[in-house]
Structure formats: C-alpha cells, structure tokens
Structure 1
Amino acid sequence: MFYSLKNRLIVFFVVLLFVSFGTMSYLFFTESRSIIRSYIESSAYEKMDEYASFVNMALVQIYDVSSIVFNSSMTKSWDNTLSDPALPAGEKMLANINLSQFLTQTTNNYSIVSSITVYRQEGMWISADNQITDDSSFKNEPWYDQFKTKGIQWVSAHQDPLEVRRLKPFDVLSLLLPIGTFEPSQSKNMMKINVRAEFFLEPLNRIHLGEKGTIFLLDGNGQSVLGQHEFASHPEAAKKMETIRNNAQQNGVIYLENEDGVKDILVYKKLKLNNWLLVGIVPEVDLYGKLYKLRTSMLIFGSLLLVGAIAAAIWLSHGISKPLSRLASGMRYVQMGDFDGAEKRIPAEEKGRNEVSYVTTTFRNMVSQLRFHIKTEFELKLLRQQAEYKALLMQINPHFLFNTLELLSSLAMQQRTQDTVRVIEALGKMMRFSLRISNDLTPLGEELKYVRHYTSILQIRFADRLHLTLEEEENLRDCVIPKFILQPLIENAVKYSFKEQAEAKVMIRVRREEARLILTVADNGSGITKELSQELRAESLTTHFEHILKTRSEQIGLRNVLARCQLYYGNLFEFEITSGELEGASISLILPIQGGTIDV
C-alpha cells in the first residue's frame, strides 16, 4: 500500500508541512523578541528624506509660479485696466483675455500645476483657456474666508468647483496668495494655484514602513494636507502633535501604546519650507518580519527545506510530475485543435498499474477517437453545405427562365419583332453567363453586366411605366460576390411595385463602406411587413435550408439570396430591410469585400 502514489504523496507532504511550519513558527516567536528597532528607524528616516526632497522641490515650483504671476507686467496691466472706470468694456474684456492666455502659458510651463485662477473682489474670476466668469460664489467657499480673515495660504485636499466644471473632479491642493499687496485682507485680487493631490499622494503611497505602516503629510495644525483620513484612527498620535511642534528637533521617534496595550512607533520629520510635518506610524509587531537575524535564520532553514523538497520532487517526478506535465501539454494542444502535436507530447505507455499510467492511456485513446470523429463530422458537414449551395443556385435559373419565356411569348403574339430579337440577344448573353456554374463566385463587374441585360428585358416589357436607376461607385468591379444575388431582388422589386400602382420605380445602388460592400435594391411598392422581416431574419440564423428548396411562397427569390449569402459568408453576412427612400421596400446586402475567384 505504501507504494501507491496517493499514499506516498500524503505521507511525504504531511511530514514536510509539520516539520517545516513547526520549526518556522518556533523560530519566529523566539527570535522576534530581540528585534533591533534602529533598523526601521534608519529606514524610515531615509524614506522620509527622499519624500521631503520631493515635496520641497514641488513647493519651490509652486512658489515660482506664484512669483511669475505676482510680478508679471501682464497682471499689473490687467489690474490697472479693470480698476480704471473710464476705459470701455471692450478694452477690459481684451485685458481679461490677455491675462487668461498668460495663465494658460504659465500653466503649460509647469507640469505639476493643474490650474491657476485669479479672483477679483468684485466677484469675477479668470483662469486658463479663456475662462472668464462673473461669479461671486467663490466668496462663500471656506478657503476664501480663511484666507481673508486669517491669512491661511495653503488649502488641504479639496474639490475645487472650477476643476469640477472642467470635468476634472479630483482633489487638489491649493496655494492662495494676494496680488498687488502682501496683506490678504487688503488685497483686491488673489490667485489660487491648484495642484492635484494625487501628485503628492502617488509617491507617498509607494513608501511603506513594514507591511502596515503609513506615512502622513500634516500641516502646522496637525491636520492631513492630502486628505489622508486614516490619521484619525490614531488618536494617540494626534495627542503628540503639540509636543512635536514645540520640539526644536527636526526629526525623532516616539513610542506609543493604546488602551489595548498595542504598541506603535511614530517617526516624524519637519519640513522647513512651510512648517509641514511628515509622520510615519507603524505597529511594533509589524517590524519582526523585516529584521536581518530572523531573515537569515529563515533563509538557512528554508534552504534546507528547499534541498529536501528538490530531492523529493526528483524522486516523485518519474511517477507523477513528469507524466502529468507532458499530459497537460498534450491537453493544451488538443484545446488548440492540434491532435498530432498532442499525441507527440503524451507520455509513452508504461507497464505500471498506477493512476497516472491509466489516465495517460485513456487520454491517448480519447484523442485518437476525438480526431477521427471531428474529421468525419467536418467532411460530412462540408459536403452537405456544398450540396445545399449548388441546389439553391440551380433554383434561381429555372425561376428566371420561366418568367423570360413568358415575356418572349407575349412579344411574339404582339408581333414586336425588333423587341423580340433584343430580348433573345439579352437572354442569350444571360444564359451563357448563368450556365457557367463551375464557379460559385463572380466579379462584381460581371454580375452588373448580367443585371444590365436583365433590366434591358424589363424595360422592353414595361416601357415607360418602369423607371430603373443603377448607381455604382468606382473601383469596385473586381470585388468578388456570389452569383445571381441582385437579379432576384430586382425581379421582386418590379413585381411588387406594379402590384400597387401603374408605374414602378426601382433603384439599384452599389457602394463601399470601409471593408464592406453594400448592395441595395429599393422600390416604391407596398414594402415588407414587420412580421415577414422578422421571419426572414430568423431563417437566416439557421444552418439548414432544405425548406427554401421546397417552399412555394412568393418570396422564394429573396429567401434564396439570403440563404446563399448565409451559406457562403456565415456570420460575416448581414442584411437590412427598411422602408427606403422610394417609400417602398429597401433591401441591403452587406458583404465583406473579397478579391479573387474561389468556390464556396
């Protein structure tokens, strides 16, 4: 029983799992109590220094932008123009447009800036891209009140109505500065420079302290600058903010303990440029997995386990792994339809009586039988499809011939000799074309010649009562289409047009739309009912067309055409039935454009 593959696997992996995980757990809980906390502290300082440099660089650029707008002659000229009541409104509007263009150019020069907006105390604001609006609603915003009354220049992550109006509903971090003076309460104009909060958040989110540690960017009041609401879940850290701000040290470490006895490590660093603060909080227990000693111990033990696992895998590969891998490779080839490739990768038969050998033998037999059945079914289906297509094609010729012979009989009885000769000549050319049934397809140019011969017969029959037009785009005559798909549609169009009135109008249009050829026949008849249209569409979805060969309905020509196109093109064929521009029926055959002459 021990030599059974199932039993060997169970015994081996039970022993391996118990020994490996038992030893790893013991090392983890014994070695983790001697953690050297200085490692995480130095790592945190290094990451914070990198991010602080990034923030300082961004702030310098934002201040540069504000300096350009503040000191620009364009801004001063705009302020003077709008402050002069004697100037006309047109000149003031020109000044607004010039300032907007200047803001557009400045914004484009600094990729980190999302937008720059200048607000005027009278209730107007100007931004880039010629956005000039008389709207004093910004005075109701909290940031405007705090700027005017308290001089608070930095606005934490928030949704700016201007950005929302521009279909950019993202959080922004904003710098507010007066224009023309350094005192916010006395300024008539102010600028608001928006920077996406994501610009600061994305690199910050890539910084990790342990696995669960988080770094927050706080302002001078200990509030989150970037909308990091997770800081509120650390009330012990919030209580230490006052102590950190009053401390002269630029960075440091504080150890916290909550009511449940869980210890956290708080690492902070002050930013000199605008009194912001970087605070990193990481649970103490999260540091155990990052220590060198524990990593070394686990690495040594893991290496020993790896050597043992490799030796066991080699021993088992001859019985399980290797045959199963080759069997899986063979299954992938079967999935792709490559049965020869699958049989080459199926393992050779073995004399052993285990489960893998049985599965391999069974799968080999299954592949052989499956290939035989698929080949047989495919050949039978192809032969049946070819027979159906030929039968449908032969159905068209007698149908048209009978109608034309009736016309010749009528002309002979009327002693219209010249018309009879013309009909016979046209009929001869048409029969010569229709008797070439060795090819199922024909160039569009040949099909249109056939259609013109047919329409000439119709014109002789109906004279001035029939109005036929043929429109075709250039460079389409070499496209290949199934034979005899236009003539039955034209015949039906003429028939049903005369059924309702004394004159018939039929329009034939050939055009190209991207990689598709669209053949349209429209008439001024009574149209096709919705029920019949749905019935024709349902029939086109089936792959059995014996009922069309046996049908005696009046729509035999239309059904025949749709069936042959469906047989040849499959899912690539589409058709549309609408009322049309002649107020009758309009039938459009939508075919993929093809070149060359091939059989179905």
Structure 2
Amino acid sequence: MKLLKQRSILKTLFIPYTILFIIIFNFLMFYFVMNESTKIKTNALTTLNSNIKNINNNLDVEINSLDTLSQNIIYSNLIKDHFIKYINYNSESLSNLSEHQKIDNIQNTKILYDLLVTMMGPNHPIDQIYLYDLHNLELGVGLDNSSSYISVNNKAWYDDVLSSKGDKVIYFNKDDRLGRYSPYEEGQYFLSLYRVYYNTLNVPQGIIEVKKSFKNIFTIIKDFNDAYGSNVYIYYKNGQPIYPINQSSSTTNYYNLISTNVDKNISNNLFKYKNEYVLFDTSSYSDFTIVATIDNSKLMSPIYEYIRTNIVLSLLITFATATLSYFIAKIITTPLNKIYNQVKGFQITDDASTNFKEIDTHITELNTLFKAFLKMQQKAKKAMTNELILQNREMQSKMLALQSQMNPHFLYNALSTIQAMADEQMNEEIIIMCQSISRILRYISSDSEQLVSLTDEIAHTIDYLQCMQIRYDNDLTYTLNIPDEMQNIKIPKLCLQLIVENAVKFTTKTELPWHIDITGYVTDTHWEMQIKDSGSGFAEDNLKQLQEKIDSINANGVLPNLELNGMGLMNIYIRFKILYNGKQIFRLINNTPNGATVIMGGIKL
C-alpha cells in the first residue's frame, strides 16, 4: 500500500512537473546559449573592426603630421629664398665661386639648416626632411644632415610627384641610408610624403620630401593582441602591400579581393573568404586600407567552449533538479496524509458519519483535503463575521454614548454668564451666546454620524470659543489658520472642541494674556492640526502617564475600553487610532517658556 501511494504521488507530481521543468529549462538554456553565442561573435567582430579603425586613425595622424610640415615649408618664403640661393650657388662647381660667394654660401646653407630644424620642432614629429631641386641637388636635415649631388629625375617617385601638381604623394619603402640609425628592422622602413613647391609665377622650383619611420605603426600592430589570433594587413591605394613586410607571392592579396567584391558580398566592410572573416577599413584621407582576417574556427572556438560548458551545466542542473524533485515529492507524501487525516477527522458537529474512516491509496485525498479546508474556512469565516458584527455594534454604541455627553460645567458656567449679562442689560451678548449654545446643543445631540467634516467641527469649536470670549470679557483671544484643502477631512466628532476646551480650562487659570492658536498643516500623504495655548502646560507626571499609556497601546496593540465618564485626551487618542488603523498622529508637548501643544492628525483617507 505504501509503495502504491508513493507511485501515485510520483506520477501525479514528480514525473509531469520534472519533465515540464526540464523542457522549459533546456529551452531557455538553448535560447540563452544561442543569444550569447551571437553576442560573442558580434562583439569579437566589433572589437576587431574597432582595432583596425584605430590603426587607420594612427596612420592618418602620421600622414597628417608629415603633410602639415610639408605645407609649412612650402608656404615659408624665407626657406624658399634661402633654398633658391642654395641652388644658385651649388648648381655649378664651387671652385668657380669667389671667396666672398663661398662664405656667403656657407652662411646661407647654415641658415637653411637652422630653418628646417626649427620647422621640425623640439619633439621631432618627423625623422627627415629632404629638399631637391629639379635636377641634381639634395639637402637633408634630420637623421641625415647632408648636402649632395644626385640624379633626382631617376628617383622612382619623380614622375608621380611632378604629375601631382602640388598634391601630396605618399610612398612607403625601405631606406638603407636612414635605416642604419635604427638597430631594429622596423626602424628601416619609412613613410615618405612628397610635394612640389612653386615660385610666385607658379613655376616648379623643387621637391620636398618629409619622412617618418614606420616603427610606431609596427608597434601599434604588434600591441594589437586579441584572443582570436587575427592577422593584420596594410595596403596603399594602388594595392601595394605595406604590412607585413616582405610578403611572399603566395600571400593572399586581400586588397584585390575587396576591389572585386565591393558591390557583391561585402556588408558593413565585412565579408567571408574561404574559412575566414575579412574586415577592412579604408581611409579617405591617406588612402590606406587596413585589413584584419580571422579564421572562422578560431572565432568560433570560445563559442564552442561556451556551449560545451553550458551543456554540462544544463545536464548537472537537470539531474540535480530531478533528484531534488524526487526527494521533495517523497518527503511531501507523509505530511500530506497526516494533514489530510487530521482535517478530515476534525468536525464541529457530532455526526458519526463524519468520523475518520479507512481510505484507499488514490490521490483523491487531495480533493477531500481541499473540501475539508473549505468547510473549515466557511465556518471560521461565518463565525468571524458574526464576531466582527458584534464588536462593530458595541463600538458604535460606545461612540454614540461618548458623543452624547457634555461637560456639565460648561452649561452651568454658560447659564451663570447669561444671568450676569442680563443683570448688566447686555442684550446683544446674550443673544450671541444663546445662539452659540443653541448650535452647540444641536451639534452634540445629533447622532447621525460618528465622523464629521473638519469644517463642521471647526464651526462648533468657534461657537464654543465665542461663548468663552463673552464669559471672560474678551480677555481670551484665539487665532485660526486652516488650509482650504483640509475642510473636507473627516475626524471623530467633538475631538477638536474638547481639546480646545481643555486648553481654555488651563489657560484661564494663569495670568493674562490668554490665547489659543489652532493651525492646520497638510501634505500629499497626511494632515495634522496643532492646538497651542498660553497656559501652564501639562504637569510632568500627567504627561508621563499619558505617554506611558499611549506607548503601552502601541506596544501590545490592545485598545482599552472608551471611558464614558468624561472624554479625556486618552479617549480622543483611542478614537483616532480606531479611525486611522494605527496610522494616526497624536503628540503632547509642553511649550517653552509656558503653554502646551496638542498635535493630532493622520493619513489622508
């Protein structure tokens, strides 16, 4: 029987929910893995693309520094004048010069060197400047400070530079003459920028060559280290391979691939060639094209590793979940039967048919358990409803009884005051006082509502204060400041007037002036009223006792019965606590140097 019970629970709970969990979990895991795999691939290609753009930007910076310097030299009339003078002196044999001309030539050459060194600047953003005439003169400043005769028109770049009509021409080559100053192979390769400069008649006068070592770019490429083993290639606009150096003929020319596929299979500077992803970026300024290639197997390697890890994790979680579900189902079986037996055996009536009976081993006990709980809930709810109705009626009776009471001393004193005013023929004051007392009695005797608007309570309080002013011959003053948005707030009936009455009682036992201040405050969440007087304040013992009673109520949650013999401050506190369900505001404070303040309020209902 026990085995059948376990098997039934497993079939109903363990097997379906475990299978459902496995399906949902594996579906989510599959979605997560595929999504993350796509992200890994996208991030890898994005990072690679960002790196080649960074290399191209550095190349642009290098070319820009060369270009800027070349233009500074071209637009320097001082350099032009001294170089023309240098050409004139050195175009023929120096032996034909006079001693004065020789000295002048030396001085002119020195000035020209100094001007070019100044152009290079203290930080040497470039490595070499060469000035050529259009025939056979060369003047160098930088790594190679020399003056020599060469055949300029036999240079590989000569025709391209002359046909450029003053635009920049860029070459990249190995320079053995300057390379001897560097111990590294990378330092033997240079970027060269050429420009033709003209005289004022727009006639070509010579050629400027500005050179810079390529070692900075080599360093950037070598530092470009990613986790996928990508390769970097640099090409100039005509497809000339720049990097890597000394590429073999078998090396794929990716520049040609880009040119042939530019309108076909390229998307966002990315295409696939054989088993490689190829990314490229071409500078519109320098015409260099940076290419990065990454083998697909290397790109997918971390993705495959990620998938394998998640598959193993998924299997482990699935096994752990199935095992845990099995033991939970097994553990739940015994408590369920115990709860079922206890609930079924628990009945309010003494009907013998409801006594515990032997049951079979099917899952139907869960339905019976639910029905038993439902019966208990219905009975408990009905009993609780009746109890609440009785408590509510009791509370309403006490509240009505409290509202119906009035301090007899007020009536005695009012009648005495009216009698005294009659003796003094104060007819107008008698009329005002009688009208006020009439409204007060009408307000007190009305038992239609336990809660009243603040407007009604304030009107009742003002009637009371007018009676007190007449009684004390206007020695008692009061101020009232209530925001308009507080007028419709509901409060327990007679609370405000009784606090004011208590304030008047203690204030008039002191020396003049006698003043009562009633001020209201309201926020988005709560409201409060402050009743201040100029009396002697609360006695410390009384204030302490009141606070202890309030703290006791807040601590244990038990409300004492409302006192019918007088509506003191504790009665008002209890009424506010019932109304605002513990979210009331009620504080008693002694003012400095004299007087007391009662603060009451609550949340906005």
Question: What's the TM-score, normalizing by structure 1?
Answer: 0.44
**Higher alpha-carbon Rg:** 2
Question: Please, what TM-score do these two structures have when normalized by structure 2?
Answer: 0.44
